Amino acid sequence: MKIGSQARRNSAVSAASADTIVVRGRDLCAELIGRVSFTDHAWLLVTGALPSAAQRRMLDATLVAIAEHGLVPSVTAARITLAAAPDAMQGAVAAGILGCGSVILGSAEAAARLFADLLARSAGGGPEPAARAALGEARAAKRAVPGYGHPLHKQQDPRVARLLAIAAETGLQGRHVEAARLVEKLLPEVTGKPLVMNVSGAIAAVMLDAGYPLTAIKGVPMLARTASLIAHLVEEQERPIGFVLADSGASAITYDGPAPPGFVPTA
């Protein structure tokens, strides 16, 4: 059963013949392999065009900034999965990527949508009224403002300053970065919470200013974190801690459900 129109049955990403592989209109072997970086190729795959030097540097910087973040839930899930299924690295990587949601990694997309919405609203009355209205709505609905606040970097996320500096150096800093800074400035006044911009908010702002599609923003941290997951899974095979992580998680939880008389849980 079809859902929606399926009249156009085409794809413009890649095709192949017996002699040639074409990716986004370019000969893979003659034009891409050994000639462009993986960052170039990722941009080409998503947008259909090779990036400028500035765009390449910006995407590269964001990928480096967000790739590794320690034993966060997505990494823990991946390592525990590999411990249970050591022959399935692909499943362990998938387990980690499946944890890309509104709290971990996925907040970059939510922040990008916030900034895009602010700029759309500001067409009629300027960015500050639009930002105040959006923040007021978030407060009334008791929604977190995506891209702001960090459990460790409460005064400043050091990655933010570096990414914004690169955006300025490359000439890519624009309206989305301005919107992101405006939200950070207004947060204490409107919501009563002095939350600083985090790396997800910075990634959203600089990549939108660089011309990266809003619908692909979530893919930036996903692509970056895949490299980190592979690193953790290589280490898991050499220095396993997956079952330690699982056991420490279980031991941190106390059973408080119904039990037979005299029952004392030991596991």
The DSSP code sequence of 187-224 is: HHHHHS--PPB-HHHHHHHHHHHTT--GGGTTHHHHHH
What residue numbers bound the domain in which 30 lies?
A: 13-50
Indicate if 55 and 45 belong to the same structural domain. Answer: no
Indicate if 177 and 243 belong to the same structural domain. Answer: yes
- The pLDDT value recorded for residue 1 is 59
The identity of residue 11, as a single letter, is: S
Indicate if 33 and 58 belong to the same structural domain. Answer: no
- The pLDDT value recorded for residue 99 is 82
Q: Which two tokens mark 99?
A: 């944890």
How far apart, in whole angstroms, are the C-alpha atoms of residue 179 and residue 134?
A: 12
pLDDT in tens, the chain (267 residues): 567 777 778 999 999 999 999 999 999 999 999 999 999 999 999 999 999 999 999 999 999 999 998 999 999 999 999 999 999 999 999 999 998 887 777 799 999 999 999 999 988 778 899 999 999 998 889 888 999 987 677 778 999 999 999 999 999 999 999 999 999 999 999 888 889 999 999 999 999 999 999 999 999 999 999 999 999 999 999 999 999 999 999 989 988 999 999 998 887
Indicate if 97 and 174 belong to the same structural domain. Answer: yes
Number of domains the chain contains: 2
Does some domain include residue 164?
Answer: yes
- The pLDDT value recorded for residue 155 is 79
Judged by DSSP in three states, 83 sits in helix
Strands (E), 24-176: 26-27
pTM score: 0.92
Indicate if 126 and 151 belong to the same structural domain. Answer: yes
Q: What is the pLDDT of residues 141-178, one digit of tens each?
A: 988 899 998 767 777 899 999 999 999 999 999 999 99
Indicate if 121 and 30 belong to the same structural domain. Answer: no
Residue/partner pairs of 79-87 with CB below 8 Å, 24 or more apart: 79/232, 79/233, 79/236, 79/241, 79/242, 79/245, 80/242, 80/243, 80/245, 80/246, 81/242, 82/233, 82/236, 82/237, 82/242, 83/236, 83/240, 83/242, 83/243, 83/246, 84/242, 86/237
Indicate if 188 and 95 belong to the same structural domain. Answer: yes
Does some domain include residue 7?
Answer: no
- The pLDDT value recorded for residue 2 is 67
CATH number where 214 lies: 1.10.230.10
Indicate if 31 and 102 belong to the same structural domain. Answer: no
